[in-house]
């Protein structure tokens, strides 16, 4: 297997506080890689650096072999790297189906002049996008609420919708931020099953930051443990759970 993402000697400080310290790891193509660590370990910071939300101070990020260290989130989106958020970011006054239709970039209808000069092309493209959205919303199991305002969906349904939005593009890799947060157990199973299907059937690579260890155990191999801004250990979840250094990092030196 080759690497989809390579994080090389990345460092990041905020003022005098160094949050990421010589951090290096690879995300293999086709994997579902988990990232865990105690509070303050730097998980969110390295996640946001990879996603292009905040700049790194030094080091390098490669996406599918290409240096993307200086690219913004919008530029990374066009390169096939997408992310979800711990709190879903839906267009609350649009339907679930319309939320999906908003995702594909560079739609002809976004330019008002095209609606006058190229109405047939605009309509044809919109039909294609709608058909794709119909397929995606059925795939993720939200067809029954496709005409419901997204703001009225439950927390779990909004997370599913965010996952569906990643399918409206040619995503190579998806970063999942606390996808289990605020989701009931039934919809959490739907989320987990959809991630596994997208990985298996569509070949999408995932990096998952998550506190729900049962979800990490079901989804992720390998698992990266971050502590004090760098990688402590990496491996299968069974080995991680039995690693004394990991136990101490989470619970202190007095942990049994």
For residue range 184-199, list pLDDT tens digits in order: 888 889 999 999 999 9
Q: What separation in angstroms does the CA of 167 have from each of 18, 92, 137?
A: 36, 19, 10
Q: 101-160: per-residue pLDDT in tens?
A: 988 767 766 667 776 777 777 788 788 889 999 999 999 999 999 999 999 999 889 989
Instruction: Find out whether 22 and 45 touch, Cβ atoms under 8 Å.
Output: no
106 and 82: one domain?
no
Nearest residue to 175 (alpha-carbon basis) of 207, 199, 209, 200 = 207
Q: Which of 140, 132, 134, 135 is nearest to 194 (CA)?
A: 140
Residue 213 structural domain = 3-90+169-251
Q: What percent of the chain stands above pLDDT 90?
A: 63
Count the alpha carbons within 13 Å of 189 in the hemisphere toward its beta carbon.
2
In the prediction, which pLDDT does 256 show? Answer: 37
Cis peptide leading into residue 222 (ω within 30°): yes
**Predicted local distance difference test score (pLDDT) of residue 254:** 44
Q: Tell me the pLDDT tens digit for each residue of 66-103.
A: 999 999 999 999 899 998 875 567 889 999 999 999 88
Top mean pLDDT of 17-31, 83-97, 110-124, 203-217 is at: 17-31
User: What is residue 46's predicted lDDT score, i.e. its pLDDT?
Assistant: 96
Same domain, 73 and 13: yes
Q: Same domain, yes or no, for 11 and 80?
A: yes
Please state the domain count of the chain.
2
Does residue 162 lie within any of the structural domains?
Answer: no
Residue 236 lies in a domain: yes
Residue 63 shares a structural domain with residue 185: yes
Cα–Cα distance, 64 to 81 (Å, whole number)? 10
100 and 140 both lie in a single domain: yes
Q: Please report the pLDDT score of residue 252 as a whole number.
A: 62
The yes-or-no verdict on residue 234 having pLDDT over 90 is yes
Helix (H, G, I), strand (E, B) or coil at 133: helix
177 and 66 in one domain?
A: yes
Same domain, 107 and 68: no
* CATH number of the domain residue 46 falls in: 3.40.50.300
Asked if residue 147 belongs to a domain, the reply is yes
Residue 11 and residue 66 in one domain:
yes
């Amino acid at each position: 297997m080759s690497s989809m993402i390579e994080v090389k000697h990345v460092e990041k400080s905020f003022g005098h506080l160094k949050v990421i310290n010589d951090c290096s790891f690879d995300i293999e193509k086709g994997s579902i890689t988990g990232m865990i660590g105690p509070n303050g370990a730097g998980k969110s910071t390295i996640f946001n650096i990879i996603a292009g939300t905040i700049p790194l101070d030094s080091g390098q990020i490669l996406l599918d072999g290409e240096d993307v260290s200086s690219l913004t989130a919008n530029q990374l989106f066009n390169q096939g790297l997408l992310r979800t958020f711990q709190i879903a970011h839906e267009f609350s006054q649009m339907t679930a189906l319309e939320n999906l239709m908003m995702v594909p970039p560079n739609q002809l209808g976004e330019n008002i002049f095209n609606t006058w000069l190229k109405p047939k092309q605009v309509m044809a493209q919109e039909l294609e996008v709608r058909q794709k959205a119909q397929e995606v919303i059925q795939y993720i199991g939200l067809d029954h609420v496709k005409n419901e305002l997204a703001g009225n969906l439950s927390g779990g349904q909004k997370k599913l919708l965010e996952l569906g939005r990643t399918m409206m593009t040619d995503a190579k890799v998806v970063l999942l931020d606390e996808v289990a947060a605020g989701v009931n157990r039934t919809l959490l199973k739907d989320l987990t099953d959809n991630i596994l299907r997208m990985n298996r059937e569509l070949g999408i690579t995932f990096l998952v930051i998550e506190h729900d260890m049962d979800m990490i155990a079901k989804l992720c191999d390998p698992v990266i443990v971050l502590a004090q801004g760098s990688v402590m250990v990496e491996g299968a979840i069974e080995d991680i759970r039995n690693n004394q250094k990991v136990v101490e990092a989470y619970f202190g030196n007095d942990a049994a």
